[in-house]
């Protein structure tokens, strides 16, 4: 019974903390925030559903002059401790996505190479995908529905739906049964 009360109290505190952060988002569902998070927003929008954000999460949405950026996170998604999402154009995270701790997802490089401008390409993580701890998702990537990214992976290209990918750079190592 004491464990049930402790769980109830923690969830209540997380919901109250979520309500305090609610005003930082342009559109937000019922949030659970389990610790302090950082929200940086310039020239952009953040639309987030019913989600859980763990402590140390950083959401950075910084569009360029004349071009707003957008970050969308679907219902029932979870973002683990100290994970960072950087949107310079568009990062879309679907419903029921599980992002583990210390992950970095970015649609921009933050620098050009030589005389070339900074590369900014949308990132899409489709419904039900799982991202393992300390993974890095780079600009221009789509991770398919139900895909699993192994811990420590660097995703540089699209990952098909219902596959397991791992490594640096991440490669498909297994196909999953879509029914499960």
Tens digit of pLDDT for each residue in 50-72? 999 999 999 999 998 788 999 99
Q: Are strands 142-143 and 123-125 parallel, antiparallel or unpaired?
A: parallel
CATH number of the domain encompassing residue 164: 2.160.10.10
Backbone angles phi, psi at 3, to 5 degrees: -60, -40
**Alpha-carbon distance 155 to 19, whole Å?**
33
Beta bridge partners of 139: none
Number of domains in the chain: 1
* Tokens (6 digits) for 25: 């988002």
Residue 88 domain flag: yes
Model pLDDT for residues 30-53, shown as the tens digit of each residue: 999 999 999 999 999 999 999 999
The domain of 147 spans 2-175
Residue 21 domain flag: yes
Residue 82 domain flag: yes
Residue 180 domain flag: no
Residue 139 domain flag: yes
Residue 122 domain flag: yes
pLDDT for position 18: 87
Residue 39 domain flag: yes
- pTM (predicted TM-score): 0.91
Model pLDDT for residues 75-103, shown as the tens digit of each residue: 999 999 999 999 999 999 999 999 999 99
């Amino acid at each position: 019974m004491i464990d049930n009360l402790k769980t109830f109290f923690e969830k209540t505190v997380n919901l109250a903390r979520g309500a305090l952060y609610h005003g930082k988002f342009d559109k937000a569902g019922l949030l659970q925030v389990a610790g302090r998070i950082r929200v940086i927003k310039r020239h952009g929008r953040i639309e987030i559903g019913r989600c859980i954000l763990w402590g140390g999460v950083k959401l950075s949405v910084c569009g360029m002059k004349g071009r707003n950026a957008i970050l969308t996170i679907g219902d029932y998604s979870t973002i683990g401790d100290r994970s960072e999402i950087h949107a310079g154009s568009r990062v879309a995270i679907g419903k029921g996505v599980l992002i583990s701790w210390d992950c970095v997802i970015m649609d921009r490089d933050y620098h050009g190479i030589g005389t070339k401008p900074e590369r900014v390409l949308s990132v899409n993580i489709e419904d039900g995908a799982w991202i393992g701890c300390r993974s890095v998702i780079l600009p221009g990537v789509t991770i398919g529905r139900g895909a699993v990214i192994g811990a420590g992976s660097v995703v540089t290209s699209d990952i098909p739906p219902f596959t397991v990918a791992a490594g640096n750079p991440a490669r498909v190592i297994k196909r999953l049964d879509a029914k499960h």
